[in-house]
Chains A and B, each alone.
Chain A
Amino acid sequence: MAHGPATLADGWVKYISRWIFTTNHKDIGTLYLWFSFAMFILGGSFAMIIRAELFQPGMQLIKPEFFNQMTTMHGLVMVFGAIMPAFVGLANWLIPMMIGAPDMALPRMNNLSFWILPFAFAILVATLFMEGGGPNFGWTFYAPLSTTYAPDTVNYFIFGVHIMGASSIMGSINIIATVMNMRAPGMTYMKMPMFVWTWLITAFLLVAVMPVLAGAVTMMLMDINFGTSFFDAAGGGDPVLFQHVFWFFGHPEVYIIILPAFGVVSQIIPTFSRKPLFGYSSMVYATASIAFMSFIVWAHHMFTVGMPIAGELYFMYATMLIAVPTGVKVFNWITTMYKGSLTFETPMLFSIAFVILFTFGGFTGLMLSIAAADIQYHDTYFVVAHFHYVMVAGAVFSGTAAVYYWLPKWCGKMYDETMGKVQFWIAFIGFNITFMPQHFLGLAGMPRRYADYGLQFADWNMVSSIGAFMYGAAQILFLFNVVRTITYGKPVDKPEVWEGAEGLEWTVPTPAPYHTFEKPPQVQ
């Protein structure tokens, strides 16, 4: 369009058509980000219901059947609807600009990748209102609870998962094609920003394991509807097979979630340290090692299923080893800060919190990898605490940091720094009050996915629920901050929004024009 993208001034029809038919990576990035935020609020509401019910022992608000639907949907919506699309949104906005490309390699497929997501989640969320209720078997949907004993809506669940998987696969193909083919002249692989590297590696992980999830879910469909026995011992199958197939997807999945988060932090810390990222090549190799190793550790999710000891020992050793490249990355971030010139704007606060709290979650992960101790941790709140530390204080904090950091570039307005810092502290404190006590709950013996609990677990549950409401409030404040910035924020017009920011996205005007790098830049 010669005069720029349609705005509200051009009328509703033109405006809505722009968003439905757009092939522009910035628009699609925006769509993903708003969608993921809506899903984050939805998944967060499910969490609020869970924590409200768990505030006290006994069933006060909901029945156990519905509680199981809430825990299941909270997991599904957060993993597949909030975190993954958020980072895909960041990828869409940033990767072309960071490599000096005008757009993604496959813009129409990019549009399709996004638009099938609201469709899939509409179906998934609608199951909550159907007869028999929504999926209630945990986001890990083990057979036979999810096959023989599933509610009738399980087929919609399977359909939704297939569509989400297709979206991820198409998005990943797009990212790989873009990064491999469209870098500006002079931008060799080892000159790419870390965010691009982490996404390139993540895209390969996605392409490798999403089909495995599709396989698991199709075998489920066959068992439920077509009389096969993949996971049914009566017909010669094995429920444990489900777990192996699922976790072969599931473990790389958690690295898919965290690697782009690593990439974001690797962009932000050098900016606010005014110092280049320490050990760039190590960071690349460490990320690649983590990705490779993520394929060979899956059965650490299955330590109590009765595996032969040789297998159990192998998976324990392999899992422990992942700590090495992860540690290298943490050390590199801290050394980037060392002897820098540090300021602590909101993106930096979230990134530093990421380093501390993600590492803390990494420590509990290392403890979990010790199979003999895992006998006492497995399927308890200790695991819940661990993965919320790495996924919330990890991925979500990183995503929040990314929004504060790049929002000025996207919309040309600066957020209010005081409001940002306030939001950070409420989120940080609320998060820790919610999840630190859950370690104690797990060690004291409270299993996960429990709608009710014995009186000895009451105190920490109450504390955790209070923290959850505080953390939830912080997200509303985040939304407020973002909307206020976009509407009334102080305009920024210099390309380099942050002193110390490096990268091609900081060479284009602020806000970024609808089309950037229509002519590729020459990179030194």
Chain B
Amino acid sequence: MQTSHRTLLAKLLALAVAMFLFAVFVLPPLYDLFCEITGIGGRTDGKYEAVEVQVDTSRQVEVQFVAANNAEMPWKFYPMEYSVVVYPGETRAVNFFAHNTTGEDMVAQAIPNVLPNNAADYFHKTECFCFENQPLAAGDQAELGLVFIIDPDLPDSVNTVTLSYTLFDITDRTELSVSQIQ
């Protein structure tokens, strides 16, 4: 092969490898930075560090709780209260009931969802059982806690916020890291 071709080949190979390394090592931190700066894309459901807010007593918001089981997840899982009424800025705690009715130890993951879409950014969870895996031994029950605050900046058009959890069976995948779950 001609020397100039050989050099070109070497340069192109090096470029391909560099692109690959860039994609694996440089892109993820860049994405994280981008998401942090713009606030979009999937970080709104992380643990919220509460700041001092004025409770807005001029309006009330109904917060409904809905539970769902994904396929092959046979636990009993439901909210202890169907809905509560809160003031924006007020801290409130509620519980969900979970019961592993099978004869095996299992681990679950609850995935949250907020409706309507434009309320999602204003629903802050300071403590949530959805932040971690939930292990339950065979036959065990548990009351799972959630502490939340509705941001006073919640758009005026929203009077009802629905928080739903879908419970998944992740017994076979427990090395999963769940600190930043959407």
Shortest Cβ distance from A308 into B: residue: B117
Complex-state Cα separation, A245 to B118, whole angstroms:
23
Complex-state Cα separation, A306 to B111, whole angstroms:
17
> Assuming A227-B173, A238-B182, is B111 touching A233 (CB within 8 A)?
yes
State whether the Cβ of B70 lies closer than 8 Å to any Cβ in chain A.
yes
Complex-state Cα separation, A307 to B118, whole angstroms:
10
Q: A235-250: which residues lie under 8 A (CB-CB) from chain B?
A: 235-236, 238
Q: Contacts of B117 on A, CB cut-off 8 Å?
A: 306-309
Complex-state Cα separation, A306 to B120, whole angstroms:
13
- CB–CB B109/A234 < 8 A: yes
Q: Contacts of B70 on A, CB cut-off 8 Å?
A: 233-234
Q: How near does chain A come to B90, taking the closest CB pair, in angstroms?
A: 26
Interface membership of chain B positions 87-113, coded 1 if the CB is closer than 8 angstroms to chain A and 0 otherwise:
000000000000000000000010100
Q: Contacts of A229 on B, CB cut-off 8 Å?
A: 176
Q: Contacts of A309 on B, CB cut-off 8 Å?
A: 117
- CB–CB B173/A233 < 8 A: no
- CB–CB A235/B182 < 8 A: no
- CB–CB B168/A234 < 8 A: yes
Interface membership of chain A positions 197-234, coded 1 if the CB is closer than 8 angstroms to chain B and 0 otherwise:
00000000000000000000000000000010100011
- CB–CB B118/A308 < 8 A: yes
- CB–CB B176/A235 < 8 A: yes
- CB–CB B118/A234 < 8 A: no
State whether the Cβ of B170 lies closer than 8 Å to any Cβ in chain A.
yes
Interface size class of B (residues with CB under 8 A): 10 to 19
Q: How near does chain A come to B76, taking the closest CB pair, in angstroms?
A: 19
- CB–CB A233/B166 < 8 A: yes
Tally A residues with Cβ within 8 Å of B: 11
Q: Contacts of B170 on A, CB cut-off 8 Å?
A: 234-235
State whether the Cβ of B181 lies closer than 8 Å to any Cβ in chain A.
yes
Q: Which of A234, A236, A238, A308 has the most CB of B within 10 A?
A: A234
Complex-state Cα separation, A238 to B169, whole angstroms:
16
> Assuming A306-B117, A308-B117, is B166 touching A235 (CB within 8 A)?
no
Complex-state Cα separation, A309 to B180, whole angstroms:
26
Q: B121-180: which residues lie under 8 A (CB-CB) from chain A?
A: 166, 168-170, 173, 176, 178, 180
Determine the main DSSP class of A at the interface with B: loop
Complex-state Cα separation, A306 to B181, whole angstroms:
20
- CB–CB B180/A236 < 8 A: yes
Q: How near does chain B come to A226, taking the closest CB pair, in angstroms?
A: 12
Complex-state Cα separation, A238 to B41, whole angstroms:
11
- CB–CB A236/B181 < 8 A: yes
Complex-state Cα separation, A236 to B42, whole angstroms:
9
Complex-state Cα separation, A227 to B170, whole angstroms:
11
Interface membership of chain B positions 66-90, coded 1 if the CB is closer than 8 angstroms to chain A and 0 otherwise:
0000100000000000000000000
Q: Contacts of B109 on A, CB cut-off 8 Å?
A: 234-235
Q: Contacts of B181 on A, CB cut-off 8 Å?
A: 236
Q: How near does chain A come to B2, taking the closest CB pair, in angstroms?
A: 17
Complex-state Cα separation, A309 to B117, whole angstroms:
9
Q: How near does chain A come to B164, taking the closest CB pair, in angstroms?
A: 12
Shortest Cβ distance from A148 into B: residue: B71
Q: Contacts of B168 on A, CB cut-off 8 Å?
A: 233-234
Q: Contacts of A236 on B, CB cut-off 8 Å?
A: 111, 178, 180-182
Complex-state Cα separation, A299 to B118, whole angstroms:
18
Q: How near does chain A come to B61, taking the closest CB pair, in angstroms?
A: 19
Q: Contacts of B176 on A, CB cut-off 8 Å?
A: 229, 235
Complex-state Cα separation, A403 to B168, whole angstroms:
55
Complex-state Cα separation, A309 to B115, whole angstroms:
13
Complex-state Cα separation, A233 to B169, whole angstroms:
11
Interface membership of chain A positions 306-347, coded 1 if the CB is closer than 8 angstroms to chain B and 0 otherwise:
111100000000000000000000000000000000000000
Complex-state Cα separation, A308 to B178, whole angstroms:
26
Q: Contacts of B118 on A, CB cut-off 8 Å?
A: 308
Q: Contacts of A238 on B, CB cut-off 8 Å?
A: 182
Complex-state Cα separation, A238 to B180, whole angstroms:
14
Complex-state Cα separation, A309 to B155, whole angstroms:
14
Q: Contacts of B182 on A, CB cut-off 8 Å?
A: 236, 238
Complex-state Cα separation, A309 to B158, whole angstroms:
14
Shortest Cβ distance from B179 into A: residue: A236
Complex-state Cα separation, A227 to B178, whole angstroms:
14
- CB–CB B173/A235 < 8 A: yes
Complex-state Cα separation, A308 to B120, whole angstroms:
11
Q: Contacts of A234 on B, CB cut-off 8 Å?
A: 70, 109, 111, 168-170, 173
Q: Contacts of B111 on A, CB cut-off 8 Å?
A: 233-234, 236
Q: Contacts of B166 on A, CB cut-off 8 Å?
A: 233
Complex-state Cα separation, A354 to B133, whole angstroms:
58
Q: Contacts of B173 on A, CB cut-off 8 Å?
A: 227, 234-235
Interface membership of chain A positions 142-172, coded 1 if the CB is closer than 8 angstroms to chain B and 0 otherwise:
0000000000000000000000000000000
Q: Contacts of B169 on A, CB cut-off 8 Å?
A: 234
Complex-state Cα separation, A186 to B1, whole angstroms:
36
Shortest Cβ distance from B172 into A: residue: A227
Task: Supply 15 A–B pairs (Cβ within 8 Å), ascending by A.
Answer: A227-B173, A233-B70, A233-B111, A233-B168, A234-B70, A234-B169, A235-B170, A236-B178, A236-B180, A236-B181, A306-B117, A307-B117, A308-B117, A308-B118, A309-B117
Known: A227-B173, A233-B168, A307-B117. 11 other contacts (CB 8 A): A229-B176, A233-B111, A234-B169, A234-B170, A235-B170, A235-B173, A236-B111, A236-B178, A236-B181, A236-B182, A308-B118
Q: Chain B: residues with CB nearer than 8 A to chain A? A: 70, 109, 111, 117-118, 166, 168-170, 173, 176, 178, 180-182
Name the 6 nearest CB pairs between A and B, nearest first. Answer: A234-B168, A308-B117, A236-B181, A233-B111, A234-B109, A234-B170
